[in-house]
Structure 1
Amino acid sequence: MSRRTSFLFFSTLLFVGLFVFVSAENKNITAKSGQDITLTCRAPNNNNIIVLEWSRADLGEKYVLVFRDERFYPDHQHPSFKNRVDLQDRQMKDGDVSLILKDVTTNDTGTYECRVVQAETKRRKSSVLDVDPISIINLRVDPPGQTGGDTEDGGKEDGPVGLIVSLSLSAVLLVSAVVGFLIYRKHEQQQSQDSHQPPVEFQPV
């Protein structure tokens, strides 16, 4: 393996590790039926937010919440969320566009996506934002009677399973990075030795 190949291999491992950790905005939350919960989402900078959409894939053309041009659009909201959702901060200071979902039921189970368009971003006039979500939250609501540990968002996380998966992923990435670095160093040393080795002199027969 050449020096260039070793460097590219090591760089790829680091890129994969960074990509996984950047994508950590995908959260799993479990809530109890009847709770009020907060689905957290924060815009990447403090520019004015001109469009905010909270959506769920199984709602068809309706939304959980829509905010455009400095006002809410209840006509675009799915009936099951009317008078049950609000923003944690209506001023959306520091890019906080977290959603409060009140009195949850098992029907609220699903994957929620948060999308924003900010002042400097060019956008098309369409009913659906053509931007990637900045937060994806998988919500599961347990039926009445089930218990579990609460999270800071008012729900509970998926227990030790989520922690084990996160730790296992971190360990794999760490081991991969270390192995890649050792391979890179080994080839660096080998090439260094080869460059200092004196040429072989051929003796006449």
Structure 2
Amino acid sequence: MPAVTVSLCSTLLFVGVFLFVSADQTNITAESGQDVTLTCRAPNNNIAKWSRADLEPEYVFLYRDGRFDPANQHPSFKNRVDLQDRQMKDGDVSLILKNVTTTDYGTYGCGLFIEETRSWDHRTIHLHVVPTGQPRGQRGSREHRCSEKGWI
């Protein structure tokens, strides 16, 4: 491989790792079967979306025009998610994910439309789910596969 290509790849890898590490991200570990609250707050929003980019459709929960919009919700989250506060008082758009399983492992994005600035604000939460009875200090099997490949 030419030196320029190696140098470019190394630079891109460094920048990618730096951006990933410096991102505002919350990590949560839960045990299978538990209900988990993914916390997200922003003042004065009227559109809130929870998504997971690795899914199609990507929406876990979409709230707009004063109500929940289930039309584009991923099937695995039907009847398992709700807002902690349906009135979103004080900008609380925290999501309750009921009866988590290891397939819920992943990175969730909370997107909030801020009317005053006419822009989106994004928060990221990474959810680790361990099998029932496994100590939280140990990683679940899916995480081990990722870490063995160097993704975590």
**TM-score, normalised via structure 2 length:** 0.70
Q: Are positions 1:71 and 2:67 aligned together?
A: yes
SS in 1 for 2:54: helix
Determine the C-alpha separation between the residues in 1 that align with 2:85 and 2:35.
Answer: 15
Alignment coverage as a number of residue pairs: 117
**Corresponding residue for 1:60?**
56
What's the CA shift for 1:132? 4.5
Larger radius of gyration, structure 1 or 2? 1
Q: AA paired with 1:138?
A: H
**Corresponding residue for 2:14?**
none
**Corresponding residue for 2:10?**
none
Q: Are positions 1:29 and 2:25 aligned together?
A: no
Q: Are positions 1:142 and 2:130 aligned together?
A: yes
What's the CA shift for 1:144? 2.2
What's the CA shift for 1:83? 0.5
Contact kept? 2:130, 2:136, Cα under 8 Å: no
Determine the C-alpha separation between the residues in 1 that align with 2:72 and 2:79.
Answer: 13
Contact kept? 2:41, 2:93, Cα under 8 Å: yes
Determine the C-alpha separation between the residues in 2 that align with 1:132 and 1:51.
Answer: 11
SS in 1 for 2:59: coil
What's the CA shift for 1:71? 1.0
Q: AA paired with 2:103?
A: N
**Corresponding residue for 2:110?**
114
Q: Deviations over 1:93-151 (max 9, x none)?
A: 1111110000000000000010111333436xxxxxxx351x211101011221237xx
Equivalent of 1:88 in 76, 84, 88: 84
List gaps (5 residues or longer) in structure 2.
1-21, 138-152
Percentage of identical aligned residues: 64
Equivalent of 1:98 in 94, 99, 102: 94
Q: AA paired with 2:40?
A: C
What's the CA shift for 1:56? 0.4
**Corresponding residue for 1:18?**
none
Determine the C-alpha separation between the residues in 2 that align with 1:84 and 1:60.
Answer: 17
Contact kept? 2:114, 2:121, Cα under 8 Å: no
List gaps (5 residues or longer) in structure 1.
1-22, 124-130, 150-205
Q: Higher helix share goes to which structure? A: 1
Runs ≥4 residues deviating over 3 A: none
What's the CA shift for 1:24? 7.2
Determine the C-alpha separation between the residues in 2 that align with 1:119 and 1:40.
Answer: 20
* RMSD (CA atoms): 2.0
